[in-house]
Amino acid sequence: MKKNVLGIFILLVAIFVITAVINPKFLNAYNMQNLIKWSSLYAVMSLGVAFVIITGGIDLSIGSVVGLVSVVLSICLKLEGMDPWSAIGITLVLSLGIGLLHGLLITKAKVQPFVVTLCGLLVYRSMGRWLTDNQSIGPMPYEDDAGYKNLEQIQGLDFLFSGKIALGSFNLPTPALFILVLSIAAAVFLRRTIWGRYLFALGNNEEGTRYSGINTDRMKILAYVLCSLFAGIAGILFAFELDSVQPAQTGEFYELYAIAAAVLGGCSLRGGEGSVLGVVIAAAVIRLIYNSINMVGISTHLEFGILGLVILLGVIGDEFLKKAVARKQAAQKT
Amino acid sequence: MDEKSSPLLEVSGLRKSFPGVLALRGVSLHLQKGEVLALIGENGAGKSTLMKILAGVQPADEGEFRVCGKKVSFRNVNDAMDRGIALIHQELNLCGNLDLAANVFLGREPTKAGLIDESEIRRQTEKFLSQVGLDLPVDTLAGSIPIGKQQLVEIAKALSCNARVLIMDEPTSSLSQKETETLFKVVKNLRSKGISVIYISHRLGEVKELADRVTVFRDGENAGELMQDQINHDNMVKLMVGRELSEFYDRQVHHPGKPVISLKDLRCPSYPQHPLSLKVSEGEIVGIAGLVGAGRTELLQTIFGVTPALSGSLEISGEVKEIRNPRAAISEGIALAPEDRKQHGLVLPMSVRENSSLPSLQRDASHGWLNENAERAVTQNAVKSMKIKTPNYEQMARFLSGGNQQKIVLGKWLAMSPKLLLLDEPTRGIDVGAKREIYKLMEKLAGEGMAILFVSSEMEEVLGMADRAYVMHEGKISGELSRDQLSEKAIMNLATGNLVAA
């Protein structure tokens, strides 16, 4: 486990150093702050989907949940003039509900995760567009909006979710604090609680885990709930970050970045494997690649191609590493 | 004389290892033309591995093969087929959606102008089917005929490839008495035509009836050979276990205490038409014998809540309980070491520690936090009391031998101190040493008052270990035998649905 986190970390450092050497502007504070901010936002979603991937499942609806949550939050704050903390509460309950629905459909109705969440992707996206008549909307109210009376509180939230904290001359984006707290919580959950252990066990062998007296259905539901909750948190962060949410576009394809980061970070789509640190670093690698392509001056038309190749090579390398470790274990005298 | 000096098939010095297990340690075997050679040995003795090598399914690590005195190699299935060796699989490989003719010539269809020559296939198939005594239209769908006949079609298929050696791995394990008799007739008929058969079976009665010679394997080595006039039950068992039976199954008589579990008219989802009743008391070791597919595993799974009962009552220590899932069973003090260890018993990619502690994690946790000290203690206990051979606690279960894997399964349940231990084929695929340890453990646990209910397809195991046994046949309990009534014949009679008293 430690070895493949080291591998992805070396990849991160390598790309970082090469880019910095080719274009020293890469290292300026503004670029670094941006990189940290976007890496953190992506990492939140990636951590969420990691729970599901560890159980051997998949969630394709993350991007649409991000879109829907940011739309609903904006409506509540700006148009409805709702108490800001209640609005946050509503969006979190909405995302928990979505996760619960996914979990129940997968475990009780026995629909495949791919199908359930693919339909979710379509449904939540169109709900967001319908609610707003497909007009862009942001959480910050203007003078003639119902939410204007809460302006000060909303500005407070804006600072909390997309502000910057001055550390000397460096301005740390607040999403970095969110990912710090969330990743510690996720790591503790996965490695120090029995539920984390159960997620890994059932991802490796669901039947065997059930035969050991574990309520595997409940654990799977929990994984989907956590995934949607993390997507919902990401949705709130994105709403304040973007100021203007495009119901048709905000969050589009994000599920694929999240899944890519989880896989590059050491989760196997077969289930049963994954580490929080690996996933967070991998999310940063993905953002870094984007940034490097710009900085180094490679055509942006090649973005997807390079990203795809890096992920593919990373996963192949990981597979080799795992085989080597397995050989070593097999060779141990019993 | 010439025939004798160069047998049809000769194998020597064959070695094969798998991760964690040395399956064959230099075995040899020879086979004459027109001979039925029985290959016997306990589970894990290496019989199936040898057969797979001969059929070209797996390569050997080392060893020499000669066919009619000529040195050959068996790298793949085609190599083996070219030498005229065909394996009749335990699980049949016919395509149920195709007719018999299509199945017999699958992959070798004769063609005429690039198209399948249907009339030729039919003509040929008819010929081969009649050789195995099957009188069925060649356009019958393979899936529509009973399993015994499907097996004969497999044999016809092998004959159509000009097979000179047929390898049959437990061919009667899922056949009825009648189907078995038909199969024997076919085998004897083939022998008279000069075809050789390697016959693997656990049923010593069958071996005695059919075999010209018996080769015995034990622990991946040759344990001995019996010529036709030496073939009898005692000789075979002695070579298979390597010692006297009484010594191997070191059983003491316990006086059973209060009933731990009692089933009344319980109906399992697999055979809902047959209500089942049985009882196991404290300190009692009760066996369930029967043929493969008799519903024994399904019964244990219903008791354990994997497939909850449809109706009937299940009493634990005198109280009626409803067990809807394994969790409920475990909280009533029931544990199951399942037949399919790799799928149901263990999480193979996890460590010895993680596997040993899986059922007890919740009990030892406080507010969901892992209790690592308790986990370590549970693991240590399991490794020590079960004598699990592992380099360390972090070793993946996948890399341990079958015997050590089974010990992890037992160890993880002992941590839960169950009242009733269900064992489904407890010694399948494990070596003799580990087997003996598991028997000793069963004896010890029963001595401490645990109730043990075990399913076994090994006659010796039931005869050796059970204080009492139920026999199942096609989903119902066809009889109950006390220790004095236990005999191979009595079990076989009940297991094959032959209810006439022995």
SS3 sequence of chain A: CHHHHHHHHHHHHHHHHHHHHHCHHHHCHHHHHHHHHHHHHHHHHHHHHHHHHHCCCCCCCHHHHHHHHHHHHHHHHHHCCCCHHHHHHHHHHHHHHHHHHHHHHHHCCCCCHHHHHHHHHHHHHHHHHHHHCCCCECCCCCCCCHHHHHHHHHHHHHHHHHCEEEECCEEEECHHHHHHHHHHHHHHHHHHEHHHHHHHHHHHCHHHHHHCCCCHHHHHHHHHHHHHHHHHHHHHHHHHHHCCECCCCCCCCHHHHHHHHHHHCCCCCCCCCCCHHHHHHHHHHHHHHHHHHHHHCCCHHHHHHHHHHHHHHHHHHHHHHHHHHHHHHHHCCC
The CATH number linked to A112 is 1.10.3470
**Position with higher pLDDT, B248 vs B164:** B164
> Which of A80, A56, A43 is CA-nearest to residue A205?
A56
Q: How many domains does chain A have?
A: 1
Rounded alpha-carbon distances, angstroms, from residue B493 to B96, B146, B291, B292, B489: 31, 21, 11, 15, 6
Of the candidate ranges A13-17, B86-90, B227-231, the one whose mean pLDDT is the lowest: B86-90
Same domain, B305 and B378: no
pLDDT in tens, B149-187: 888 998 999 899 889 999 998 888 777 778 888 899 999
Beta strands B36-40 and B213-218, pairing class: parallel
Neighbours of B378 (CB within 10 A): 25
Looking at the complex, report in whole angstroms how far the Cα of residue B343 sits from the nearest Cα belonging to chain A: 6
- Name the pLDDT band for A27 (thresholds 50, 70, 90): very high
Rounded alpha-carbon distances, angstroms, from residue B224 to A77, B44, B344: 86, 16, 36
Looking at the complex, report in whole angstroms how far the Cα of residue A272 sits from the nearest Cα belonging to chain B: 8
Cβ <8 Å between B395 and A215: no
In the sheet that holds B468-473, the strands lie side by side as: B334-337, B420-424, B451-455, B285-290, B468-473, B476-482
Same domain, B318 and B386: no
In a domain? residue B340: no
Cβ <8 Å between B326 and A208: no
B354 to chain A, any CB pair closer than 8 A? The answer is yes
pLDDT above 50 (res B501): no
Going by the DSSP 8-state scheme, the letter that residue B343 receives in this structure is I
pLDDT at residue number B305: 96
Same domain, B352 and B293: no
CA B378 to chain centre: 31
Looking at the complex, report in whole angstroms how far the Cα of residue A125 sits from the nearest Cα belonging to chain B: 36
Q: How many domains does chain B have?
A: 3
In a domain? residue A100: yes
Long-range interactions of B481-486: CB distance < 8 A, separation 24+? B483/B253, B486/B462
Same domain, B395 and B451: no
Looking at the complex, report in whole angstroms how far the Cα of residue A224 sits from the nearest Cα belonging to chain B: 19
* Interface probe, candidates B346, B354, B358, chain A, greatest A C-beta count within 10 A: B358
- Name the pLDDT band for B1 (thresholds 50, 70, 90): very low
pLDDT at residue number B143: 87
Same domain, B294 and B204: no
- Is the distance from CB of A63 to CB of A254 less than 8 angstroms? yes
pLDDT above 90 (res B265): yes
Bridge partners of B396, per DSSP, are B351
B304 CB neighbours in chain A (<8 A) are: 211
In a domain? residue B81: yes
Residues A185-189 have a mean pLDDT of 97
Same domain, B351 and B263: no
Instruction: Nearest by CB to A334, from B306, B347, B389: name it.
Output: B389
Same domain, B233 and B249: no
Residues B296-306 have a mean pLDDT of 96
Taking CA–CA distances from B361, the nearest residue in chain A reads A194
In a domain? residue B342: no
Residue A279: how many CA atoms within 13 Å on its side-chain side? 32
Number of CB pairs < 8 Å for A and B? 91
Q: ipTM score here? A: 0.87
Same domain, B292 and B352: no
- Is the distance from CB of B361 to CB of B433 less than 8 angstroms? no
- Domain of A143 in residue numbering reads as 2-325
Neighbours of B499 (CB within 10 A): 10
pLDDT in tens, B193-203: 999 999 988 77
B336 CB neighbours in chain A (<8 A) are: 211
Bridge partners of B111, per DSSP, are B116
Cβ <8 Å between B362 and A333: no
Going by the DSSP 8-state scheme, the letter that residue B229 receives in this structure is G
Q: Is the pTM of this model over 0.90?
A: no
- Name the pLDDT band for B502 (thresholds 50, 70, 90): very low
Distance in angstroms (rounded) separating the CA atoms of residues A55 and A299: 38
Distance in angstroms (rounded) separating the CA atoms of residues A316 and B211: 53
Distance in angstroms (rounded) separating the CA atoms of residues A273 and A276: 10
B300 CB neighbours in chain A (<8 A) are: none
Cβ <8 Å between A332 and B399: yes
* Backbone phi, psi, residue B418, to 5°: -75, 160
Distance in angstroms (rounded) separating the CA atoms of residues B103 and B118: 12
B378 CB neighbours in chain A (<8 A) are: none
Looking at the complex, report in whole angstroms how far the Cα of residue A189 sits from the nearest Cα belonging to chain B: 9
Domain ends where: B194, B225, B244?
B244
pLDDT above 80 (res A286): yes
- Name the pLDDT band for B243 (thresholds 50, 70, 90): low
Q: Give the three-class secondary structure for B479.
A: strand
In a domain? residue B341: no
A208 CB neighbours in chain B (<8 A) are: 343-347
Cβ <8 Å between A192 and B327: no
Taking CA–CA distances from B334, the nearest residue in chain A reads A213
pLDDT in tens, A106-127: 999 999 999 999 999 999 999 9
pLDDT in tens, A138-169: 999 999 999 999 999 999 999 999 999 998 88
- Is the distance from CB of B58 to CB of B39 less than 8 angstroms? no
Exposure b/e, A76-105, CB count within 10 A at least 16 = b = bbbebbbebeebbebbbebbeebbbbbbbb
pLDDT at residue number A298: 92
Same domain, B435 and B309: yes
In a domain? residue A332: no
Taking CA–CA distances from A212, the nearest residue in chain B reads B359
Distance in angstroms (rounded) separating the CA atoms of residues A36 and A29: 10
In a domain? residue B256: yes
pLDDT at residue number A24: 93
Residues above pLDDT 70, as percent of chain B = 95
Beta strands B21-31 and B9-18, pairing class: antiparallel
In a domain? residue A334: no
> Which of B168, B152, B148 is CA-nearest to residue B100?
B152
In a domain? residue B339: no
B350 CB neighbours in chain A (<8 A) are: 200-201, 204, 272
Looking at the complex, report in whole angstroms how far the Cα of residue B391 sits from the nearest Cα belonging to chain A: 5
In a domain? residue A331: no
Q: Give the three-class secondary structure for B172.
A: coil
Of the candidate ranges A146-150, B72-76, B278-282, the one whose mean pLDDT is the lowest: B72-76
B336 to chain A, any CB pair closer than 8 A? The answer is yes
Neighbours of A293 (CB within 10 A): 19
Size (chain A), residues: 334
Instruction: Nearest by CB to A332, from B326, B329, B391: name it.
Output: B391
> Which of B309, B299, B262 is CA-nearest to residue B282?
B262
Mean pLDDT, chain B, whole residue set: 89
Domain ends where: B244, B276, B299?
B244
B19 CB neighbours in chain A (<8 A) are: 330
A201 CB neighbours in chain B (<8 A) are: 347, 350, 354, 358
The CATH number linked to B71 is 3.40.50.300
- Name the burial class of residue B27, with classes exposed (0-12), middle (13-18) and buried (19+) by CB atoms within 10 angstroms of its CB: buried
Distance in angstroms (rounded) separating the CA atoms of residues A294 and A35: 12
Cβ <8 Å between A213 and B391: no
Cβ <8 Å between A207 and B344: yes
Of the candidate ranges A92-101, A129-138, A176-185, B97-106, the one whose mean pLDDT is the lowest: B97-106
Residues above pLDDT 70, as percent of chain A = 98
B369 to chain A, any CB pair closer than 8 A? The answer is yes
pLDDT above 60 (res B328): yes
Same domain, B453 and B494: yes
- Domain of B367 in residue numbering reads as 347-416
Cβ <8 Å between A208 and B389: no
In a domain? residue B323: yes
Domain ends where: B367, B399, B416?
B416
Cβ <8 Å between A214 and B327: yes
Residue corresponding to tokens 């160890």: B411
A329 CB neighbours in chain B (<8 A) are: 395-396, 399
Distance in angstroms (rounded) separating the CA atoms of residues B24 and B46: 6
> Which of B104, B107, B148 is CA-nearest to residue B122?
B104
Distance in angstroms (rounded) separating the CA atoms of residues B155 and B366: 60
B374 to chain A, any CB pair closer than 8 A? The answer is no
In a domain? residue A8: yes
**Position with higher pLDDT, B251 vs A311:** A311
Residue A7 has which token pair? 């591998």
Residues B329-345 have a mean pLDDT of 95
In a domain? residue B43: yes
Same domain, B358 and B288: no
Taking CA–CA distances from B356, the nearest residue in chain A reads A212
Looking at the complex, report in whole angstroms how far the Cα of residue B421 sits from the nearest Cα belonging to chain A: 14
Rounded alpha-carbon distances, angstroms, from residue B63 to A196, B25, B26, B92: 48, 10, 7, 29
- Is the distance from CB of B321 to CB of B329 less than 8 angstroms? no
Residues A253-258 have a mean pLDDT of 95
Same domain, B371 and B319: no
B326 CB neighbours in chain A (<8 A) are: 210-213
Residues above pLDDT 90, as percent of chain A = 87
pLDDT in tens, B108-157: 888 888 888 889 999 999 999 998 988 899 999 988 888 888 889 989 99
In a domain? residue A33: yes
Residues A88-98 have a mean pLDDT of 98
Bridge partners of B351, per DSSP, are B396
Taking CA–CA distances from B326, the nearest residue in chain A reads A213
Of the candidate ranges A318-332, B23-37, B384-398, the one whose mean pLDDT is the lowest: A318-332
A214 CB neighbours in chain B (<8 A) are: 327, 358, 362
